[in-house]
């Protein structure tokens, strides 16, 4: 995907050796980092699966690993933004 191509390009430009993979967030393998963006957690089928994914993030991180999760709030009432 384009996101991975851009990430690889950025890593190479900084002379960083990195591997990027797509994984089922409910069953990831041990890693140095987890990046979950664009409300991907909210596409799971409920609070229980979100909890499973977050627990999986925690369990798969190495001791010095980091997880970055972004969630956005989108409101239907546009007047709130004004």
pLDDT band at 79 (very low <50, low <70, confident <90, very high): low
Location of structure tokens 């627990």 = 55
- 78 versus 9: the higher-pLDDT residue is 9
pLDDT score recorded for residue 80? 55
> Can you tell me whether residue 6 is helix, strand or coil?
helix
Question: What is the H or E stretch that residue 77 is in?
Answer: none
pLDDT digits (tens, 9 = 90+) for 23-76: 777 777 777 788 787 778 888 888 999 898 889 888 888 888 888 888 877 666
Residues 6+ apart with CB under 8 A from 27: 56
pTM of the model: 0.62
The mean pLDDT of 15-26, rounded to a whole number, is 82
pLDDT score recorded for residue 9? 92
Backbone angles phi, psi at 25, to 5 degrees: -65, -10
């Amino acid at each position: 995907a384009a996101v991975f191509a851009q990430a690889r390009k950025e890593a190479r430009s900084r002379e960083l050796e990195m591997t990027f993979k797509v994984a089922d967030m409910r069953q990831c393998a041990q890693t140095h980092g987890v990046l979950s963006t664009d409300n991907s957690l909210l596409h799971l089928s409920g609070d229980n699966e979100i909890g499973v994914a977050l627990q999986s993030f925690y369990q798969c991180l190495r001791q010095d690993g980091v997880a970055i999760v972004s969630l956005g709030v989108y409101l239907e009432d546009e007047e709130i933004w004004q």
